[in-house]
């Protein structure tokens, strides 16, 4: 169960961070800042196994510190430190606390160049391994960890644009719309079409996932720094899992909020 929870957390991180995909700032470095973020997640999963419906409800909070460091020469480092995970998981009416796996996570360090593109990702081997292997690299990590939007002179209220993150049969195609300004910040809405095809290794058992669905929501962006202040979204996925030559219908419904808390 602990490994299953860990893999699920990795997948949620992928979906949440992927919203910043491929929308780097104008040429140059990211603004120096240090913020604490909180991601809240409520996920309801349904699976049909041997004719019986199995339900799993996950309620989780994750806290992280994002430290954008001063550029050195032609590169810049951004560290992401997960310092607390709390919540519970309920399976068929039986509830248990989620273990705080953050103590196992070393900081993830992104190194960007002077064009704002991510050149390397290091740190927290266990978490990165889950992202890259448990879900077969479902989405490119260099795009997944991009947390900035460029909505300066090239974007106006009412504009819509597309962005994509695709890899090995997996796809996230997102349409963003610049809805309005509010208290000096930009309010964007988004709708993402998702295809997830991946293989997870659970205690030596290979589980193949074939899922299709959408992610919708809105985000608030600082117009001066292009930093995402908060994101609210909903994920709906349907499809199947293959395990031990058995096909299992799956339905996933998840709501999330990721925001700066200080």
Model confidence over 88-109: pLDDT tens digits? 988 888 898 988 877 777 888 8
Q: Kindly report the pTM of this predicted structure.
A: 0.79
**What stretch of H or E contains 8?**
helix 2-17
Distance CA(56)–CA(223), nearest Å, equals 39
Whether the pLDDT of residue 216 is over 90: the answer is: yes
Most confident of 46-50, 84-88, 110-114: 84-88
Instruction: Find out whether 200 and 53 touch, Cβ atoms under 8 Å.
Output: no
Per-residue buried b or exposed e for 72-85, using 16+ beta carbons within 10 Å of the residue's own CB: eeeebbbbbbbeeb
Q: Which residues contact 74 (CB under 8 A, 6 or more apart)?
A: 113, 114
Q: Which domains does the chain have, with CATH numbers?
A: 2-249 (2.30.230)
CA dihedral sign, ordered 78, 8, 203, 171: negative
DSSP run (H or E) holding 7? helix 2-17
Does the pLDDT of residue 179 top 90, yes or no?
Answer: yes
């Amino acid at each position: 169960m602990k490994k299953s929870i860990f893999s699920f957390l990795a997948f949620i991180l992928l979906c949440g961070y992927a919203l910043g995909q491929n929308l780097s700032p104008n040429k140059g470095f990211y603004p120096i800042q240090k913020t604490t973020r909180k991601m809240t997640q409520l996920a309801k999963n349904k699976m049909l196994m041997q004719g019986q419906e199995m339900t799993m409800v996950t309620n989780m909070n994750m806290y992280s510190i994002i430290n954008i460091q001063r550029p050195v020469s032609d590169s810049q480092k951004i560290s992401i430190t997960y310092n607390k995970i709390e919540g519970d998981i309920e399976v068929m009416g039986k509830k248990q606390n989620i273990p705080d796996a953050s103590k196992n996570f070393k900081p993830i360090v992104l190194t960007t160049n002077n064009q704002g593109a991510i050149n390397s990702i290091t740190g927290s081997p266990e978490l990165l391994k889950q992202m890259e292997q448990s879900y077969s690299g479902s989405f490119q990590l260099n795009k997944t960890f991009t947390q900035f939007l460029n909505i300066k002179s090239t974007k106006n209220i009412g504009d819509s644009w597309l962005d994509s993150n695709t890899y090995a049969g997996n796809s996230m195609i997102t349409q963003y719309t610049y809805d309005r300004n509010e208290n000096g910040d930009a309010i964007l809405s988004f709708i993402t079409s998702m295809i997830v095809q991946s293989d997870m290794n659970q205690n030596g058992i290979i589980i193949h996932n074939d899922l299709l669905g959408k992610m919708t929501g809105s985000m608030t962006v600082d117009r001066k720094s292009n930093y995402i202040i908060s994101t609210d979204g909903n994920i709906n996925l349907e499809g199947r899992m293959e395990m031990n030559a058995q096909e299992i219908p799956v339905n996933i419904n998840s709501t999330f909020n990721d925001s700066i808390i200080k």
